[in-house]
Structure 1
Amino acid sequence: MKMRKGISAVLAGVMALAALPVSAMSASAEGAYALGDVDMDGYITGHDAAMVTRALYVDNSALNDEQLKLADVNGDGVVDQSDADWIHENETYALGVMCERDQQSGVELCSISLYYQSWYVAETGAGYSVELTEDSYPETTAELDDMLVNGKMPKVIFNLLDADGNGVLDINDIFVSTLSLGLRGCGYQSTIYFAENRYDLGENALNLPDYITACGVIEIGGNRKEFSY
């Protein structure tokens, strides 16, 4: 009798999984991840969208086979802009947002992000190791600080700080994040991104002539010229 009940429970579980839509998950050697969770940290975030557009516009070999499967959210066998757009529209956490409280208040990548990027770069640059953990997304920055004190950082936070989407957190991420913050601060752009349809803050997404003209000054070879705008 017990054996029958056990078999019935297993069959019920198999039938329940079979009833899930094909797009619900992708199996991998490391476990099952939701489609769109390209970085496989358990969340669909702005970093996943950043990774996809970086692969589309910067390095078409950036994603491995498993990541390509997770990035193909519409299941058409091709990873393209429509997949990146869907991931961005359905992201749970925005790029650079460090805690649930700020996410709910609509804060985008900001000076708080710069602080944590700088902390990580300084910590690792000084030779200290930072353990990336599977801890959940923190409710507050105070909760995150408690983890950092112990040399630990949730993998999802590390990913959200990787502004250019290349899987490395370094001075380049600090640079592009600072530039994004400055351009928004002076009213030149209203979003954190440098270009339409780009969800990574890659340097090659910058249209430097436009920015130079907007700022009104350019200096090349020691010759300084002002523009009217």
Structure 2
Amino acid sequence: MAVKTTEIYHIFNQKGVLFMKIRKGISAVLAGVMALAALPVSAMSASAEGAYALGDVDMDGFITGHDAAMVTHALYVDNEAMTAEQLKLADVNGDGVVDQSDADWIHENQVYELGKTDKRFRMNAMTVYYQAYCIAADGTGNNGELQYSLEKGADLWEGGSYDDKVLPEVCYNLLDVNGDGVLTVDDILLTAFDVCYMGCGASKTIYFEEGRYDLTEDTIPVDDYQPARINMG
């Protein structure tokens, strides 16, 4: 049976309370296996690796939705989120200021959309899987049972899964859907909502708000929801 758009709106209408409860629930489940720890998004020094293309803010060799997400995260959430090197790469029009026009250009020229783990598909359940795997693998209680490494410069796969536990760095960065530079349970929650939101037909885009290329709880479009009513006369 198809899920109605109004059902998704209703589920997430009380987003503040719900997100808190879901966050605690996921944290408790994962903590039962291993402790969670935030993973810093890998970004090697541009001076050490040579020049990166303008727009490649996270310096993984590709201009992607994650680069645009990092810029709007810095513009609207945390003005000090990017390093001096990243700010230079974000100033794509060279006017000495990083602003919305830079974020828009990066978004328009991205080769991969935020949340992709495979060339063929957009954000889906596999995004959530790899987010959870990477967070769990870095947990302090892992004892080496879950492992992965990042391959710099490697492209996304087209089909299959990363069974050898070697993730392209670009894939890892695209998992950071709120653009804050770390993988946490928040990224999982935002992705899960987004997949449901698109899946029920409520949206054809992964983005919650025009011009915002980072996904955040505050931009989830449920504030204007009105319960369905039948006028009896």
TM range (shorter): 0.7 to 0.9
Q: Is this contact kept in 2: 1:99–1:137, CA < 8 A?
A: no
Q: Which has the higher strand share?
A: 1
Higher radius of gyration, 1 or 2: 1
Q: Is this contact kept in 1: 2:57–2:67, CA < 8 A?
A: yes
Q: Is this contact kept in 2: 1:110–1:181, CA < 8 A?
A: yes
Query: Which of residues 188, 193, 196 in structure 1 aligns to 2:202?
Result: 188
2:68 aligned partner: 49
Question: After TM superposition, what 4+ stretches of structure 1 lie above 4 angstroms from structure 2?
Answer: none
1:21 aligned partner: none
How well do the aligned residues superpose, as a CA RMSD in angstroms? 1.9
Query: Which of residues 14, 18, 37 in structure 1 aligns to 2:56?
Result: 37
What SS does the corresponding residue of 2:179 show, helix, strand or coil? coil
Question: Is 1:145 paired with 2:162?
Answer: yes
Q: Which amino acid aligns with 1:134?
A: K
2:6 aligned partner: none
Please list every run of 5 or more consecutive structure 1 residues that lacks an aligned counterpart in the other structure: 1-26, 217-226
Moved more, 133-142 or 165-174: 133-142
Q: Is this contact kept in 2: 1:50–1:165, CA < 8 A?
A: yes
Shift of 1:112: 1.9
Q: Which has the higher helix share?
A: 1
Q: Please, what TM-score do these two structures have when normalized by structure 2?
A: 0.72
Shift of 1:189: 1.8
CA separation in 2, counterparts of 1:76 and 1:138?
Answer: 32
Q: Is this contact kept in 1: 2:60–2:170, CA < 8 A?
A: yes
Question: Is 1:131 paired with 2:149?
Answer: yes
What is the count of residue pairs matched by the alignment?
181
Q: Which amino acid aligns with 2:53?
A: A
What SS does the corresponding residue of 1:145 show, helix, strand or coil? coil
Structure scoring higher RCO (CA < 8 A, sep ≥ 6) equals 2
Map 1:68-107 onto structure 2 (within 5 A).
68-100=87-119, 102=120, 107=121
Q: Which amino acid aligns with 1:28?
A: S
Query: Which of residues 212, 217, 224 in structure 2 aligns to 1:198?
Result: 212
Q: Is this contact kept in 2: 1:158–1:169, CA < 8 A?
A: no
CA separation in 2, counterparts of 1:49 and 1:191?
Answer: 15
Please list every run of 5 or more consecutive structure 2 residues that lacks an aligned counterpart in the other structure: 1-45
What SS does the corresponding residue of 2:163 show, helix, strand or coil? helix
